[in-house]
Amino acid sequence: MPVFALARKEWKLLIRDWHALLLLFVMPAVFILVMSLAFQNKYAERQGASIHYYLVNQDKSPASVALVKDLNLLKNFKMELFQGPPSVLSEQVQRGHAQFMVRIPNRFGRAMLGRDPLPVQMVAGPTVEPAIYNLFEQTLRGVLLRVYLKQLLAPVKAMQPELDLEFLSKLHFKIAGKLLHGVSLYQVNGKNQRPSSVQQNVPAWLVFAMFFIAIPLSTTWVQERQQGTYLRLCSMGVSAKALLLGKMLPYLAINLMQVVLMLLVGVLVVPWFGGEPLMLGHTPFGLCLVSVTISFASVSYALLIANLVSTSEQATIITGVGNLLMAAVGGVMVPRFLMPPLMRSFSMFSPMSWGLEGFLDVFLRRDGLRPIALQLLWLLLFSFSCLMLAGLLFDKRRKG
């Protein structure tokens, strides 16, 4: 078949330009290693962090009312009261609509001063960074302890108004551990495994490197077009679809090789240098599906650029600038959870953001293929749009 003959021809051209091929693997590997180690557990450590959480109060005692009141006074903590089943909110937290869910159980106030207090349940979303988790947990423990001391010392406080509750809170800090039970929605082997910088940097720089496949693809395409190779092939009866497909197959294989090697860097190399290992999630099929879809999108984008430009220099410039813009907006260079709300909304228009979010959904969430469905849909729409435009441009040049 002409498609496989064209693909074999493309492989030979790729092997000749092994310097560019090597760059596609060395560049992301270096970025992953350096950025994962440099920013380990630091993404969420920022001043003025805003934390959004749901609160379910199933207890109407004075203690729970006081707890809700004190929580509402916290700065940079956005509380949203909810009346309904906690299971619904837990699903909302899992989808990323809020970072935490806090549930005050029934009979909380009555059992608070007893031997076996009923703990407040804190559920963290799968993408909550360790620093944010610890900040919220310690803040909630402090508020719980203050409410506990107020309830415990209410009779004494009435007789001695000068009683220092802050000093007593230090003496009773261990009690706070019984009043709060924290759970992360991202768990491996029963243990809380919240995402670290390696979960962000491996897929981010992997997606970034996959889109750079446009440079070698467009370079060989422009050279063959200038040499009249495609006109001769078309005169021999080779269709435009066969030309495009024969061009795509080798580069799809290279992209998938990038995926395998960069994941191995995250799993094996980063821990060897003292970083945290990459956790690949619980959906191998979903990981393969996301990888293939991103590869398809990046190669389709490369074919569009190849048919859009006239010289290899133009292809290099457009690819470089376009990839940098998509990476800056799409959460590669700056994680989306660090962006202000306006920039976060813009990031959803970047194909790199769709690919990155698809990988993160596979790594961090355990809902099978459901979380990645929307990301895959956007990537496929982008891919087919690029292929359609590339085909139209190719026909226009051939007829012109």
Predicted TM-score (pTM) of this structure? 0.66
Based on the fold, state whether residues 318 and 204 are members of the same structural domain. Answer: yes
Based on the fold, state whether residues 214 and 278 are members of the same structural domain. Answer: yes
Tokens of 394: 């190719």
- Is 347 within 8 Å of 331 (Cβ atoms)? yes
CATH number, residue 150:
3.40.1710
Domain of residue 237, residue span: 2-40+196-399
Q: What pLDDT is attached to residue 224?
A: 79
pLDDT digit string (tens) for the chain, length 400 residues: 566 666 776 766 666 766 667 777 888 888 788 877 766 655 444 444 578 888 888 888 888 888 888 888 887 788 888 777 777 777 778 777 888 888 888 888 777 777 777 788 888 887 777 778 888 888 888 888 888 777 776 655 555 555 555 544 444 444 545 555 555 554 444 444 445 678 888 999 999 999 999 888 888 888 877 777 666 776 676 677 777 888 888 899 999 999 999 999 999 998 898 888 888 877 889 999 999 999 999 999 999 999 898 888 888 899 989 999 999 888 888 887 777 778 888 888 999 999 999 998 888 776 667 778 999 999 999 999 999 999 898 888 777 6
SS3 of 274, please?
Answer: coil
Based on the fold, state whether residues 356 and 236 are members of the same structural domain. Answer: yes
Based on the fold, state whether residues 173 and 244 are members of the same structural domain. Answer: no
Q: Where are the beta strands (DSSP E) in the chain?
A: 51-57, 77-81, 100-104, 120-124, 180-184, 187-188, 191-192
Based on the fold, state whether residues 124 and 66 are members of the same structural domain. Answer: yes
Based on the fold, state whether residues 292 and 352 are members of the same structural domain. Answer: yes
- Domain count for the chain, please give it: 2
Tokens of 125: 């979303």
Based on the fold, state whether residues 229 and 368 are members of the same structural domain. Answer: yes
Based on the fold, state whether residues 71 and 25 are members of the same structural domain. Answer: no
- Which helix (H) or strand (E) element contains residue 223? helix 214-226
Based on the fold, state whether residues 69 and 176 are members of the same structural domain. Answer: yes
Rounded to 10 deg, the angle between the 214-226 and 284-308 helix axes is: 40
Based on the fold, state whether residues 167 and 142 are members of the same structural domain. Answer: yes
- Is 6 within 8 Å of 224 (Cβ atoms)? no
